[in-house]
Amino acid sequence: MSFARVVGHAGAAARLARAAADGRVPAAVLLVGPAGIGKRALADAFAARLLCAAPGAGGACGACAHCTRVGAGTHPDLHLVARDPERRDIRIEQVRELTRWLTLQPLMAARKVGVLDDAHCLSEQAQNALLKTLEEPPGAPVLVLVASSAALLLPTFAGEAETHARALVLRDLPRLRELGADELSRSAQALARGALDAGLATALAWYRDVLETALAGDAAALRNPAAADAVRLAARRLSPPALLRQLEAVYDTITALEKNANRMLAVDTMLLSLRAIERGAGLDASPWKSSR
């Protein structure tokens, strides 16, 4: 399948085709949108284009040894992960197998290409395993993630406390770099005493929005559409590796709280870590690493 046959994705398809033609293929490509609009077809076309020996302006040639194998599902450098139909999520073992496979040398093509369908069905554990790989991609493999925007971690915010926590997070994370010690401490106190779960879920949604916008541009479907302008600004300012570390710092805080860490201390430390990453201070700012 060539890019031209993908329906409804003219902008995204054109961007991917240009990136491939220019040899500027990112380590991870995220295709997000509602189910049934051809994201997977676009992912397959892009994977075929990357592996093809004689790609043209329209994408993969469809005739070379690579294309023949891609068509038959037997290309050794293409790996597809999808949810088992009888399961609700993608198993952690599937992700571990994929990440192991991505570290191997390509057998036939210039690079290995992984396609992860149903990425919105990754368990939290599987997401973390994947994030670590994306952070340090060995060699030059390309991972194409396909996800519907529908089923991500953003809960519905009903009560006043939840609304307040959400507003606080969306006010402070975009300007974290400029927050002084007093302001940061006040934010931590307000979050720790309020609807902390909602605040942390909003923080996850914020960093995911910014990361996806940094990776996919305006094609990303936002969990916080009201914060679209701030998300775009942050996506220009922050690198994907920094954003992955910030996401990890939020995940680690959630894990620490599940193990009954002190709320005030955990949130204060998290905000300090997030700010340190934003200011470029320290690659390993996550405070909970040593306790794992």
Task: Give alpha helix (H) positions in the chain.
Answer: 10-22, 39-51, 65-72, 92-102, 124-135, 160-172, 181-193, 196-216, 228-237, 240-258, 263-278
Write the interaction track for Zn ion spanning residues 74-93; mark x where CB under 5 A is met and - where it is not.
Answer: --------------------
CB 90 within 8 A of CB 125: no
CB of 23 to Zn ion, least distance (A): 17
Answer yes or no whether residue 1 interacts with Zn ion by CB under 5 A: no
Toward Zn ion, which CB reaches closer, 60 or 95?
60
Binder among 64, 80, 161, 228 for Zn ion (CB under 5 A): 64
| Binding track, positions 37-56, relative to Zn ion; x by CB under 5 A | ---------------x----
Per-residue x/- mask for Zn ion, residues 250 to 289, rule CB under 5 A? ----------------------------------------
Residues touching Zn ion, count (CB under 5 A): 5
**Which residues lie closer than 8 Å to 51 by C-beta, 6 or more apart?**
60, 66, 67, 70, 75, 77, 78, 109, 113
For 182-195, the DSSP string reads HHHHHHHHHHHHS-
Q: Answer whether 120's CB lies under 8 Å from 151's CB.
A: yes
3-state class (DSSP) for residue 52:
coil
Tokens representing residue 227 in the block: 């914060």
Residues forming a β-bridge with 226: none
Least spacing, CB of residue 25 vs Zn ion, in Å = 16
Shortest approach of Zn ion to residue 56 CB, angstroms? 9
Buried b vs exposed e over 12-35: b needs ≥16 C-beta within 10 Å? bbebbbebbeeeebbbbbbbbbee
- Which one, 34 or 56, has the nearer CB to Zn ion? 56
Among 67, 78, 145, 231, binds Zn ion (CB under 5 A): 67
CA dihedral of 275, 276, 277, 282, whole degrees rounded to 10: -170
Q: Residue 69 or residue 186: which is nearer to Zn ion going by CB?
A: 69
- Given 19, 61, 80, 228, the residue binding Zn ion (CB under 5 A): 61
Measured from the CB of residue 62, what is the shortest distance to Zn ion in angstroms? 6
The distance of closest approach from Cβ of residue 64 to Zn ion in the complex, given in angstroms and rounded to an integer, is 3
Closest to Zn ion by CB, 52 vs 176, is 52
**Chain center to CA of 150:** 15
Residues within the interface to Zn ion (CB under 5 A): 52, 60-61, 64, 67
